[in-house]
Amino acid sequence: MLREAVVTEPPNQVAQHASPVNEEPRFQIFIVDGGWNSPAHKVLHENFGMLRDLTKGNPIYVLSREKSIEFILSQPSLSGKGPAIIVHDLAALREGGTGSFHGFRLHLGIMHSEEQALLALQLFARFLATHRRSVDLEAEIRRDLRREGIIGAIEIILQHEPRELGG
Amino acid sequence: MPERWSDYLAIFMSALAVGYVVFEIDRRRRKLHDLIDVLGGEDAKLTEGLVSMVESGELRPYTGATLD
């Protein structure tokens, strides 16, 4: 009688830790876009695949145009800044709820050119990929923002071509 | 005290240069904070709105390869 032997290899622990596929999602990502015909809207649409690949393992929720408009009307702080990408830090939400730091948002719509919008989107995707295992995300965001500010100051003082994000 | 008018001019120009740098740094800092903002207690309603849409099933993870 022939028996079919199924050989299973022991799981590679290192590979499991390195792979984000088996991890609990750290972030929830929401895209709120009222649909303004803007450079940021174009860049987001053209690079969504890249963004999705770089944030693999974290669910992305895309609000429809109607839902986005409804949401923006109920949240005036988003008005005129869309498309916006809102990121919930699930670890912070579990720990402290919505009362303290629990994520961040990128207002891509305030970028006036495609080049600026693309740069902001790339920085954002890199940040998410880099910090998905961060213990203190808030401190890291603040440190990164401070560093950007210092680099900007040095560029001004040295009169280098500023790589300005804000336009 | 400076004695020549050119000394006054140099001081004035230096003050202008320093003022410009301070203004520009502050302007960039504000722009950066407009672009990226952390979610805190004041954003609770915004967050709860999105979370409730997910929990009610109104929003589901997007599986498309491109945005329509």
> What residues of A are in contact with residue B29 (Cβ under 8 Å)?
149, 152
| Residue, of A86 and A76, whose pLDDT is higher | A86
Evaluate whether B32 touches A107 at the Cβ level (below 8 Å): no
The answer to whether the complex's ipTM is over 0.85 is no
Measured distance CA(B3)–CA(B17) in Å, rounded: 22
Measured distance CA(A151)–CA(A163) in Å, rounded: 10
Residue A18's pLDDT band (cuts 50, 70, 90): very low
Evaluate whether A95 touches B27 at the Cβ level (below 8 Å): no
Using the Cβ of A106 and the Cβ atoms of chain B, whether some distance falls under 8 Å is answered with: yes
The DSSP string of A23-60 is SPP-EEEEEE------HHHHHHHHTHHHHHHHTTTS-E
β-partners of residue A105 are A86, B37
Q: For every residue of chain B, which 3-state class applies, written as one string?
A: CCCCHHHHHHHHHHHHHHHHHHHHHHHHHHHHHHHEEEECHHHHHHHHHHHHHHHCCCCCCCCCCCCC
Nearest-neighbour CA in chain B from A23: distance (Å): 17
pLDDT tens, residue by residue, A84-135: 999 999 988 888 888 888 888 999 998 889 999 998 898 888 888 887 777 7
Tally Cβ neighbours within 10 Å of residue A96: 13
Q: Which of A62, A77, A101 sits opposite B38 (nearest CB)?
A: A101
Nearest-neighbour CA in chain A from B12: distance (Å): 18
The answer on pLDDT for A36 being more than 50 is: yes
pLDDT for residue A43? 93
Whether B34 sits inside 8 A of A107 (CB atoms) is: yes
Using the Cβ of B17 and the Cβ atoms of chain A, whether some distance falls under 8 Å is answered with: no
Question: Sheet holding A60-62: strands in order across?
Answer: A60-62, A27-32, A84-89, A103-107, B36-39
Q: Which of B36, B53, B67 sits opposite A104 (nearest CB)?
A: B36
Whether B50 sits inside 8 A of A107 (CB atoms) is: no
Optimal mutation site among B20, B22, B35, interface A, most CBs of chain A within 10 A: B35
Nearest-neighbour CA in chain B from A21: distance (Å): 15
Using the Cβ of A118 and the Cβ atoms of chain B, whether some distance falls under 8 Å is answered with: no
Evaluate whether B40 touches A94 at the Cβ level (below 8 Å): no
- Mean pLDDT is lowest, of A21-25, A133-137, B1-5, for A21-25
Measured distance CA(A91)–CA(B45) in Å, rounded: 19
User: For residue B1, what are its two tokens?
Assistant: 């005290």
**Distant-in-sequence, close-in-space partners of A146: CB < 8 Å, separation ≥ 6:** none
pLDDT for residue A84? 93
